[in-house]
Amino acid sequence: MATPTTQHGLTEHSHGGAVVPQSSRGDRFTSYDVDAFEVPGGREEDWRFTPLKRLNGLHNGTAVASGSAGVEVNESPEVRVERVARDDKRIGEGGVPADRVSAQAWSAFTQATVVTFPKETKTSRATVVTVTGPGEGGVAFGHVQLRAEAFAEAVVVVDYRGSGTYADNLEIVALDGAKLTVVVVHDWSDDAVHVGAHLVKLGRDAGLKHTVVTIGGSVVRVSPTVTYADKGGDADLAGLYFADANQHLEHRTFVDHAVPNCRSNVVYKGALQGDGAHTVWIGDVLIRAAAEATNTYELNRNLVLTDGARADSVPNLEIETGEIEGAGHASATGRFDDEQLFYLQARGIPVDQARRLVVRGFFHEVLQKIDVPEVRDRLEAAIEAELQAVGA
Amino acid sequence: MATLEIKDLHVSVVTDDGPKEILKGVDLTIKAGETHAIMGPNGSGKSTLSYAIAGHPKYQVTSGEVLLDGENVLEMAVDERARAGIFLAMQYPVEVPGVSMSNFLRTAATAVRGEAPQVRHWVKEVKGAMTELEIDPAFAERSVNEGFSGGEKKRHEILQLALLNPKIAILDETDSGLDVDALRVVSEGVNRFRANGESGVMLITHYTRILKHITPDFVHVFAGGRIVESGGPELAAHLEDEGYVKYTGKQEAAQVG
């Protein structure tokens, strides 16, 4: 569907064309201690797309907490909400930071919020965690753990909004047989800088539907990492982003298949418009030698609506065993499909409306996965507003 | 009464080696109630004619005129042409992922009719038209043309023809890729549309078999970017026997098999 531009990650390909990183993703260093990481200079593989100068010092230790972010939880009645110290034994179950900012947030947070979905219980309504930034010019670090006990079923929305500079870790722990739906919305104000890591651990037969939506903020970099503690884990990772002029929106998914019989499916879609709009999608999937019968697929699509916008898209698929069910990836970045516009116009639909239909259609696949109607409606309205803004 | 006039139409397509002239002076007038079959070998420019009238940006009109009831069609945007009453049933309908057929049909009908159809009446109208074309109602919620078979796509083109009810319908190889049943269903759809006598039809085809279902009033042989011979239905019968060899100098059947 794409009209080629000269950008990276442009060509459509199914298996075989992935960039093989110089070092295996499995060897990537992890630590809770910020000082164990080198200060990134911008040429490192995992920082080369990120505008470090715009991170307000989150990456080099000069960003010092000046305030705190508000973490409010509007929970379903069955749900337990606790504020705990960093020595709580549950903290860290989701995983270990894999980059310096994640470790910085870990080293700097003062209080964690643990939201527990009790075992063998289906919660009666969606739980909403609202994280409000420290305010313009402020810096804060945070930590939240979403914890689904065995066979719990729950839907949770994490809603980031407000101003300031913020780094955090969001742990998502789904114990055996739990079914968890997590929708994370980044609807930050224009000034906000947010670097976040999602540390996901899935127990035996646990299922996670994880959707990341990023529409607001100056720089937003989110790195969801999924690990499986036992067989039968199933992770659906969806993403939707819409970058305007001078917004940098970066998503780095990593699915680490280390045990057999697990499944993952990654679908991220983005639209870009305006000068300096920049999006990055890095999709790492590692199938370790022990992870037989793995089934994984990842897909990224970007729709560039105007000149001056840039989308980077890099799928990395490493496979260390031949005994898998399936593994594939696809990535494409393109402009409007002129044939689609012609077809719609040839049925009398004016060009502006035809463009909106195509963009809405483009996002439909991801939007329909969001089974929280209020959130879906809000996002549809937000996309509509974005499109009106350029008259696309 | 609707009239489409094509006068000395020259059309080029942009290629890597610069513009290439495909249509070299086409003259044709189609009046309401008339069905004109345009028959010709592959590469003769039949599809170019249909796309040029619909306004596809790839095709450049270098000279000539296209008038619909005296209005200059070539000055209109693609969507304006459609709203003025020109409909092109495409040989290769385009897939539009994520846009449901029902949403698409309603949006198109609203644009062409100038107002949104009343919901209750509309649902009945669509259902009726789908039933006539033997389309499973489940298609209404599927993305436009996505994953449709060739026959399903063509049925949906005729569904749009029925709902948008244009003044002039251009059917570009609507018969290609259809099995016997689908050809019958699609042809019946076209005949229902013709029955009102208020619309003109340009039926572009390579083969004669669709003309056994849709009887044309006029048959034109298209070769080398222009109409080289015109006649009545008997010309189609002649083409069935002789092929296009007379016009192209090489053997190419107008009959399947």
pLDDT digits (tens, 9 = 90+) for A67-91: 889 999 999 999 999 999 999 999 9
Q: Is A7 a residue whose pLDDT tops 50? A: no
User: A372 lies in a domain?
Assistant: no
Is the CB of A343 less than 8 angstroms away from the CB of B96?
yes
What is the percent of chain A with per-residue pLDDT over 70, rounded to a whole number? 93
Contact partners, residue A165, CB within 8 Å, separation at least 6: A55, A56, A57, A58, A63, A133, A134, A138, A139, A140, A192, A193, A194
Q: Does residue B111 have a pLDDT over 80?
A: yes
- Is A351 within a domain? no
3-state secondary structure of B243: coil
**Which amino acid is it at A198?**
H
CB contacts under 8 A, B 131-150 vs A, are 143-144
A359 in any annotated domain: no
Q: SS3 for B116?
A: coil
Please check the confidence at residue A206 and state whether its pLDDT lies above 60: yes
Question: Is the confidence at residue A11, as pLDDT, over 50?
Answer: no
What dihedral do alpha carbons A39, A44, A45, A50 form, nearest 10°? 70
- Please report, rounded to a whole number, the percentage of residues in chain A having pLDDT higher than 90: 83
Query: Cβ A364–B112 below 8 Å, yes or no?
Result: no
User: Which pLDDT belongs to residue B255?
Assistant: 64
**Residue B251: pLDDT band with limits 50, 70, 90:** low
Chains A, B: CB pairs < 8 Å: 82
Listed residue (A392, A387, A359) closest to A269, CA to CA? A359
Query: Given the structure tokens 């991220």, which residue do they identify?
Result: A268
Is position A254 within any domain? yes
Number of domains in chain A: 1
Alpha-helix runs per DSSP H in B19-149? 46-54, 78-84, 101-113, 119-132
Is A224 within a domain? yes
Q: Mutating which of B87, B90, B100, B107 best tests the A interface, going by the most A Cβ atoms within 10 A?
A: B107
> Does A358 lie at the interface with B, CB-CB under 8 angstroms?
yes
Q: Does A365 touch chain B (CB under 8 A)?
A: yes
Q: Say whether A350 and B82 touch across the interface (CB within 8 A).
A: no
pLDDT for residue B91: 94
Q: Is A364 in the B-facing interface, judged by CB distances under 8 Å?
A: yes
Of A353, A363, A364, the CB nearest to B107: A353
Q: Other C-beta atoms within 10 Å of A110: how many? A: 12
Residue corresponding to tokens 């011979």: B229
Q: Does A328 reside within a domain?
A: yes
- Residues A218-241, mean pLDDT to the nearest whole number: 98
Find the closest chain B residue to A342 by CA distance.
Answer: B56
Mean pLDDT of A311-332: 95
Handedness of CA A58, A59, A62, A65 (dihedral sign): positive
Phi, psi of B193 (to 5 degrees): -65, -40
In a domain, A30, yes or no: yes
Domain containing A129 equals 25-336
Question: Does A352 contact B at CB distance below 8 Å?
Answer: no
**Over residues A321-343, mean pLDDT:** 93
Gap between the Cα atoms of B190 and A180, Å rounded: 52
**B146 vs A contacts (CB less than 8 Å):** none
Lowest mean pLDDT among A8-12, A111-115, A156-160, A219-223: A8-12
Look over chain A and give the mean of its residue pLDDT values, rounded to a whole number: 92
Structural contact between residues A363 and B98, judged by C-beta atoms closer than 8 angstroms? yes
Rounded to an integer, the average pLDDT of B52-70 is 97
Compare all CA atoms of chain B with the CA of A339 and give the residue at the minimum distance: B94
Instruction: Report if residue A35 sits inside a domain.
Output: yes
Q: Which pLDDT does position A12 carry in this prediction?
A: 39
DSSP class of B137? G
Model confidence at A3, pLDDT cuts 50, 70, 90, reads very low
Q: With a CB-CB cutoff of 8 Å, which residues 93-112 of chain B face chain A?
A: 93-99, 103-104, 107-108, 111-112
pLDDT of residue A337: 86
Q: How far is B81 from chain A (nearest CA, A)?
A: 7
Cβ B96 vs Cβ B156: under 8 Å:
no
3-state SS, A180-191, equals EEEEEEEECCCC
Q: How confident is the model at residue A13 (pLDDT cuts 50, 70, 90)?
A: very low
A349 and B108 within 8 Å at the Cβ level: the answer is yes
pLDDT digits (tens, 9 = 90+) for B192-249: 999 988 999 999 999 999 999 999 999 999 999 999 999 999 999 998 888 888 887 7
Check residue A22 and give its pLDDT. 55
